[in-house]
Amino acid sequence: MAESPDIDILARGELFRGVPVEVLRELHAASFRRKFPAGETVFQQEDAVTTFYIVVVGRLRVTQTTLDGQQIIIRYLGPGDVVGYAALTGAPAHPGAVTAVDDCHLIGMPAPMLRDIMSRNSRIAMNAVALMGERYQDLQLRLRELATEKVERRIAHTLLRLSQQAGRRTARGIEIAFPLSRQDLAEMTGTTLHTVSRTLSGWEARGLVDSGRRRVIIAKPEALAEVAEEV
């Protein structure tokens, strides 16, 4: 199994699960490692799709920007996640930008090569369909939240979701394990940094969270879940 650490990483990711080792070897032969220091951009919105990545370590942020410069955060990516799903679907350009929020290590490979191997290997294609389905459901959920819930509940839901994906147990509670500013939370929940700040201050006073400069710790997850679900 452990013929190469990278092959192991690929085999554990959602996309290449259950794929024969010889296919993984073929993929690995064409792949390369690349580091992105915090703040660096992997690709911009509208960039041509040339390369496909899998996250090894670190967090990345997927954003979309409007013509008038307003930005929203579509999602965060972490270890095992696919970066640049457009390489799977065959879209010519990236619909969003991806930026490292941490120092990141990615495994990259040429997009056409992935498409080629996928078309010869239905297991990968089936995995890709399942993966896209999950991401679609995520967005459906967020759309519903944005359409039906008030800001406070949206922020609560968002924090709880982030704590699932990237939570780290600490003495003071569950810490979101990457830098997360008020502005970031605002761009995830469709509000302003001011409102996020006020909301967190309120929770802080009630002891629900413990937050600071680009850092959020959920002190009482159950209580926050109540905020998220209350009518």
Partner DNA sequence: CGGACTTTTGAAGTAATTCAAGGGGAGTGG
Partner DNA sequence: CCACTCCCCTTGAATTACTTCAAAAGTCCG
Tokens for 114, please give them. Answer: 């992935």
Q: Is 213 in the site for DNA (CB under 7 A)?
A: yes
Q: Is 65 in the site for DNA (CB under 7 A)?
A: no
Q: Which of 15, 1, 5 is nearest to 121 (CA)?
A: 15
User: What are the DSSP calls for 170-197, one per residue?
Assistant: ETTEEEESS---HHHHHHHHTS-HHHHH
User: What are the DSSP calls for 48-111, one per residue?
Assistant: B--EEEEEEES-EEEEEE-TTS-EEEEEEE-TT-EE-THHHHT-SB-SSEEEESS-EEEEEEEH
Using the contact rule CB under 7 A, the part of the chain among 54-62, 73-81, 105-113, 186-194 near DNA is: 186-194
- Please list every residue from 148 through 177 that binds DNA, using CB under 7 A: 150-152
Q: Is 183 in the site for DNA (CB under 7 A)?
A: yes
Q: Is 37 in the site for DNA (CB under 7 A)?
A: no
| Smallest separation, CB 57 to DNA (Å) | 19
| Smallest separation, CB 141 to its own copies (Å) | 8
Query: Which partner, its own copies, DNA, none, binds residue 88 by CB below 5 to 8 Å per kind?
Result: its own copies
Residues that bind its own copies (CB under 8 A): 64, 66, 68, 70, 72, 74, 85-86, 88-91, 95-96, 118-123, 125-126, 128-130, 132-137, 139-140, 142-144, 146-148, 187, 189-190, 231
d(CA 20, CA 121): 10
Q: Is 198 in the site for DNA (CB under 7 A)?
A: yes
User: Coil, helix or strand for 149?
Assistant: coil
Q: Is 190 in the site for DNA (CB under 7 A)?
A: yes
Q: Is 197 in the site for DNA (CB under 7 A)?
A: yes
Residue closer to DNA, measured from CB, 50 or 201: 201
Residue closer to its own copies, measured from CB, 13 or 167: 13
Q: Is 223 in the site for DNA (CB under 7 A)?
A: no
How many other C-beta atoms are found inside a 10 Å radius of the C-beta of residue 75? 18
Cα→Cα distances 27→7, 18, 34, 68, 125, Å? 9, 14, 16, 40, 14
d(CA 106, CA 193): 31
Query: Which partner, DNA, its own copies, none, binds residue 74 by CB below 5 to 8 Å per kind?
Result: its own copies
How many other C-beta atoms are found inside a 10 Å radius of the C-beta of residue 153? 17
Q: Which residues bind DNA (CB under 7 A)?
A: 150-152, 181-183, 190-195, 197-198, 200-201, 204, 211-214
